[in-house]
Amino acid sequence: MASEGFASIEDVAYVDLGELAQIEAFDEETAQELQNRAIEFIEARNKELDDKRLALGVTDDVLEVEGITPAMAVALGEHEIKSLEDLAGCATDDLIGYYEVNKDKERVRVPGALDGFNLTSDDANAIVMKARVKIGWIEAEPEVVEEEIAEEGEAENNEA
């Protein structure tokens, strides 16, 4: 599957079924079965992550922040970032880590709560800012609000 461009289970689960069926030796029935299994796997994994998130005390509103996945919510909880207010109070470095100089004048990496999620500093900053907007600490920038309104309108038109 990797040689056909499918790098993750999500790629298999959410690709157009026709693309899977085009793979050599796959018919539509096989493609459908693969896609169903991928979706079932993702749902089971997300249920397990959600149970762990809840056990850690991470609130539902943290998951409502755009860009936060169930796995990220668990990682945040493991770093005592459990509420929307906790997330909004983070600095970018709290999420992606930073370097500091120790007493021996060596640079030492201090890991962030979301290390391993391949977030850029811009990604982490966007998550923090979205949490701050959601909690009401700041207002969204007008062009962001306009883009969201336009996207919602497109979605409503597509549903009609």
Its CATH class, for the domain covering 1-56, is: mainly alpha
End-to-end CA, the chain: 35
Residue with tokens 């096989």: 30
* CATH architecture, domain defined by 60-160: Orthogonal Bundle (1.10)
The domain ranges of the chain are: 1-56, 60-160
pTM: 0.74
In the numeric block, which tokens belong to residue 61?
């509103």
Same fold, 1-56 and 60-160: yes
- pLDDT digit string (tens) for 98-146? 999 999 999 999 999 999 999 999 999 999 999 999 999 999 876 655 5
Helix (H, G, I), strand (E, B) or coil at 107: strand
